[in-house]
């Protein structure tokens, strides 16, 4: 993943004729911290997990980015994701640099007690580098509001001051924001709607396929369903379901809330996570994890618009194949930026201790997403490049301009 992120940066640096010194600086994360996270397990054993927090770039403000709990977490992945966060924040104009963190663990096999102890120890190990004006974590894969509540509490207990602004994606009661839980999926929905209009795809009846039914996919599926699109297939880690006439997403969500899997839904045929990507549809949302559309299956993708709900779901080889076929790919740093956009709103509300109405949040989110989408489309037309290249050009230029203005210390 890091190789891909670096190759993308190198290509864009060349297009922008970036100053070689600034290019070199952007290739390296500014700070990387690796910590061991000793955790007492329920059976009395002691497990030592490895945790990371990487701050890619601090030019435009404090750093921002999620924390993931996943067996695939390693320094390269976290570094790549931190870099993506720098571009994502810059693209939508937030006053942040990018960061990412994570723990290599299988959260699905851990109890709440184990997760709490691990989260608290991890937080205390990275305490020196986080803070509301320093680096602000948020949820990502297999972390949620509860994880953020534990992180906020651990930080606050160490400092002796309740500090809601140290994390975003918290429960509402502890300084979270209305609309944050839905924000990433809602942002995907806003940009897809704009892209569908540009490509003359009517939303009513549009065939939508969503891979991944978590924070991003489930919300996006719900919003498309409510817009009278035909959501023909959805999946989670256990597999998917397909119904050419459209699934009743309200019902799938209700069943899912009872702790099941979308595969238990009766009114559709079982389909695998690989097959779901290859269904003929108007809109495909890969909202599960990275590396899903590769040179092996890109040729068989039959969607008109692909909107990357996940970070890094399409490999560069696949990008080229899709571009040659005329598929529009709305890149991750644009399509899924709604999460960090509302994280920013949450942080602003925490710092001001003044909270907004949900309609204000959604309106501002829509403004941020649509204006970024329009800037990306305009540049892609002007430069005759795909949307990912255009988005990266805008983002990298903004960070590079910031670096140039601040100069080199000492
Ligand atoms: N984890 C989310 C992302 O990848 C949100 C990060 C944030 O809100 O800081 O964009």
DSSP calls for 148-203: HHHHHHHHHHHHTS--GGG-SS--GGGT--TTHHHHHHHHHHHHHHHHHHHTT--S
Ligand 1 atom nearest to 140, measured from its CA: 1
CATH 3.40.50.720 boundaries in the chain: 183-335
Strand order in the sheet with 230-236: 269-271, 239-242, 230-236, 207-211, 280-286, 302-307, 328-330
> Tens digit of pLDDT for each residue in 257-287?
887 899 999 999 999 999 999 999 999 999 9
Rounded to the nearest angstrom, the distance between the alpha carbon of 260 and the centre of ligand 1 is: 26
pLDDT of residue 359: 98
| Pocket residue to mutate for ligand 1, from 73, 335, 340, most atoms within 8 A of Cβ | 340
CATH 3.40.50.10860 boundaries in the chain: 2-174
Tell me the HSE value of 311 on the side-chain side, using a 13 A CA sphere: 27
Q: Does domain 2-174 have CATH number 3.40.50.10860?
A: yes
Q: Which residues contact 322 (CB under 8 A, 6 or more apart)?
A: 293, 298, 301, 306, 314, 329
Task: Report the distance separating Cα 348 and Cα 297, nearest Å.
Answer: 42
Q: What is the pLDDT along the chain (410 residues), one digit of tens a residue?
A: 999 999 999 999 999 999 999 999 999 999 999 999 999 999 999 999 999 999 999 999 999 999 999 999 999 999 999 999 999 999 999 999 999 999 999 999 999 999 999 999 999 999 999 999 999 999 999 999 999 999 999 999 999 999 999 999 999 999 999 999 999 999 999 999 999 999 999 999 999 999 999 989 999 999 999 999 999 999 999 999 999 999 999 999 998 888 789 999 999 999 999 999 999 999 999 999 999 999 999 999 999 999 999 999 999 999 999 999 999 999 999 999 999 999 999 999 999 999 999 999 999 999 999 999 999 999 999 999 999 999 999 999 999 999 999 999 99
Q: Residue 313: how many CB atoms within 10 A of its CB?
A: 29
Ligand 1 atom nearest to 64, measured from its CA: 9
| Pocket residue to mutate for ligand 1, from 55, 56, 343, 361, most atoms within 8 A of Cβ | 343
Task: Report the distance separating Cα 185 and Cα 226, nearest Å.
Answer: 13
Burial of 297 (0-12, 13-18, 19+ CB in 10 A): middle
Rounded to the nearest angstrom, the distance between the alpha carbon of 144 and the centre of ligand 1 is: 11
Q: Does domain 183-335 have CATH number 3.40.50.300?
A: no
Strand-pairing partners, residue 54, are 32, 100
The H or E element spanning position 227 is none
Give the dihedral sign, CA 161/166/167/173.
Answer: positive
Rounded to the nearest angstrom, the distance between the alpha carbon of 410 and the centre of ligand 1 is: 32
Active-site residue flag, 100: yes
The ligand 1 site (C-beta within 6 Å) comprises 64-66, 88, 138, 140, 168, 311, 336, 339-340, 343
Q: Which residues contact 360 (CB under 8 A, 6 or more apart)?
A: none
């Amino acid at each position: 993943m890091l190789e891909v992120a670096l190759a993308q940066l190198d290509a864009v640096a060349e297009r922008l004729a970036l100053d070689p010194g600034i290019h070199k600086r952007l290739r390296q994360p500014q700070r990387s911290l690796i910590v061991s996270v000793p955790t007492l397990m329920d059976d009395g054993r002691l497990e030592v997990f490895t945790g990371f927090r990487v701050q890619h770039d601090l030019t435009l403000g404090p750093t921002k980015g999620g924390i993931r709990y996943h067996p695939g977490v390693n320094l390269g992945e976290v570094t790549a994701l931190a870099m993506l966060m720098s571009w994502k924040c810059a693209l939508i104009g937030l006053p942040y640099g990018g960061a990412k963190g994570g723990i290599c663990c299988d959260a699905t096999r851990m109890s709440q007690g184990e997760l709490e102890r691990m989260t608290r120890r991890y937080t205390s190990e990275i305490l020196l580098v986080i803070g509301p004006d320093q680096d602000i974590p948020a949820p990502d894969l297999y972390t949620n509001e509860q994880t953020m509540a534990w992180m906020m509490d651990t930080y606050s207990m160490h400092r002796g001051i309740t500090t809601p602004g140290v994390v975003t994606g918290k429960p509402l009661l502890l300084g979270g924001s209305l609309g944050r839980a839905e924000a990433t999926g809602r942002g995907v929905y806003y940009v897809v709607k704009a892209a569908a209009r540009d490509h003359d795809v009517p939303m009513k009846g549009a065939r939508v396929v969503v891979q991944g039914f978590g924070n991003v996919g489930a919300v996006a599926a719900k919003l498309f369903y409510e817009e009278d699109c035909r959501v023909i297939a959805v999946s989670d880690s256990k597999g998917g379901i397909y119904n050419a006439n459209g699934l009743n997403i309200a019902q799938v969500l209700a069943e899912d809330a009872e702790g099941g899997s979308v595969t238990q839904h009766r009114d559709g045929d079982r389909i695998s996570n690989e097959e779901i990507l290859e269904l003929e549809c108007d809109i495909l949302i890969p909202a599960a994890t990275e590396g899903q559309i590769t040179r092996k299956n890109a040729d068989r993708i039959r969607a008109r618009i692909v909107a990357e709900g996940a970070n890094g779901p399409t490999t560069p080889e696949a990008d080229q194949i899709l571009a040659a076929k005329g598929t529009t790919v709305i890149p991750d740093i644009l399509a899924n930026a709604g999460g960090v956009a509302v994280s920013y709103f949450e942080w602003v509300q925490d710092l001001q201790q003044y909270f907004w109405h949900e309609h204000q949040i959604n309106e501002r989110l829509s403004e941020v997403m649509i204006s970024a989408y329009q800037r990306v489309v305009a540049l892609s037309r002007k430069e005759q490049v795909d949307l990912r290249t255009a988005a990266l050009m805008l983002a990298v230029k903004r960070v590079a301009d910031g670096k140039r203005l601040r100069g080199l210390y000492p």
